[in-house]
Amino acid sequence: MDDMDMALEAMKVQIKKEIIDNYFAERRNLEDDTQALEDKVAVYRQELSGLSRLFSAFYAALGQEPAIDRIMQLLSLPDWPFYEDFRQLPPKAREGLVKKHRHWGFTAWGRHLNLVQAIYEELAPKCRSLKEQYDQLMIHLRLLNEDIQKFNQSFDFGLIAAQIEALEGGGAPIGGGLLSGEREELSTRMRFKSKKLTAEEVPPPPSLPPWKAIKGQVKAVLRATSP
């Protein structure tokens, strides 16, 4: 083997190494990005737990189901958010959620209204904040899946095999060669699976108007439904 042949052989080895190194480097980047998304999902779900407790406090402050029903209609929320969580709470736990919020007012009616207002004014911005987190999650998910698609196209096994075969002058890239079924199986294993997040896994938070936009209507509902 002369110097030219040795140089070409060294070049082939280097190119093969770069193909393999690039594959694993890009795959590691996707794995890291996927983990970052999963970490964000975990934080978001934890924040949803806090939102559930706030909604439970809101339901407890409203009191009876007729009041809750009319307020949910007012808020255009036919599926009462986290209501099942509230239903499973024992009475003492419900009272505990309400006691965490300030009671003020000269009359029982005034204290009731102010309690509902205090909880709502904490609930509405919490929903807005979670909506921003949710939107960021969906953007991260979309960009991650775009990168995964590019990765799978760039590192398709058939394409890599063809490149190596070309370097070998048409010979099989792996000793003994691979049957078409084996190639397809290996190609499938090399692909990076796209990430999916269902509405059950990551439910979007409800959207609530500011208190001043509904205060008059809420007062009317509470007056009509208070014992």
Q: Which of 48, 50, 67 is nearest to 59 (CA)?
A: 67
Q: Which of 192, 201, 200, 195 is nearest to 143 (CA)?
A: 195
d(CA 114, CA 135): 32
DSSP H/E element including 196: none
Q: Which of 50, 71, 68, 51 is nearest to 59 (CA)?
A: 68
Report pLDDT digits (tens) over 169-179.
655 544 445 44
Mean pLDDT along residues 83-111: 86
> What pLDDT is recorded for position 24?
81
More confident residue, 19 or 96: 96
Q: What is the largest CA-CA distance in the chain?
A: 102
Decide if pLDDT at 134 tops 70: yes
Q: At what angle do helices 65-74 and 3-62 cross, to 10 degrees?
A: 130
More confident residue, 67 or 23: 67
> What pLDDT is recorded for position 25?
87
> What pLDDT is recorded for position 152?
87
More confident residue, 184 or 66: 66
For the chain, what are the domain ranges?
A: 12-156+191-225
Report pLDDT digits (tens) over 15-49.
667 777 788 888 899 999 999 999 999 999 999 99
d(CA 223, CA 210): 20
Greatest mean pLDDT among 76-85, 158-167, 168-177? 76-85
> What pLDDT is recorded for position 70?
95
Lowest mean pLDDT among 84-88, 102-106, 161-165, 201-205: 161-165
C-alpha 80, offset from chain centre:
21
More confident residue, 174 or 193: 193
d(CA 191, CA 153): 9
d(CA 126, CA 206): 10
| Per-residue CA distances from 127 to 44, 73, 205 (Å) | 12, 18, 6
Mean pLDDT along residues 121-141: 96
> What pLDDT is recorded for position 99?
84
More confident residue, 83 or 11: 83
Mean pLDDT along residues 152-162: 71
Burial class (CB within 10 angstroms; exposed 0-12, middle 13-18, buried 19+) of 68: buried
Query: Exposure pattern of 166-186 as b/e (b: 16+ CB <10 Å)?
Result: ebeeeeebeeeebeeeeeeee
